[in-house]
Amino acid sequence: MADATFGGYSRFDLELEFVQCLGNPAYLNFLATQKLLDRPDFVAYLAYLRYFAEPKYACYLSYPGPTLRALELLQQEKFRKEILQPTVMHRMVEEGIKAATGDRT
């Protein structure tokens, strides 16, 4: 039996694209403002997606560091509430830029 596709994409492809979006702090803030991070079923889905931390799946991530870090942070209820705050989102963006440029000041 062939793998199911959704709009021509496999479930893995769709999950990969979604997980990679989690590396964007603005997207995390968007999910929070839409109240998705308050839904137990969505939080369970985020827990399920932790399989991307395994080396055989992490190799498909374009930016594994920020993506996997965000996925781990999303496991914490405190973070899911804090990401609603624009200051938290902006701090994450700044930290990401500093890490990418090697600027540790």
Q: Give the CATH number of the domain where residue 22 resides.
A: 1.10.10.1340
Query: 37 and 74 in contact (C-beta within 8 Å)?
Result: yes
Average model confidence (pLDDT) for the chain?
Answer: 90
The domain in which residue 75 lies consists of 9-100
Q: How far apart are CA 19 and CA 12, in angstroms?
A: 10
The answer, yes or no, to whether residue 83 has pLDDT greater than 50, is: yes
Please give the average per-residue pLDDT across 64-71, as a whole number: 94
Number of domains in the chain: 1
Residues 91/74/84/24 CA torsion (nearest 10 deg): 50
**More confidently predicted of 18 and 96:** 18
User: Is there a domain that residue 1 lies in?
Assistant: no
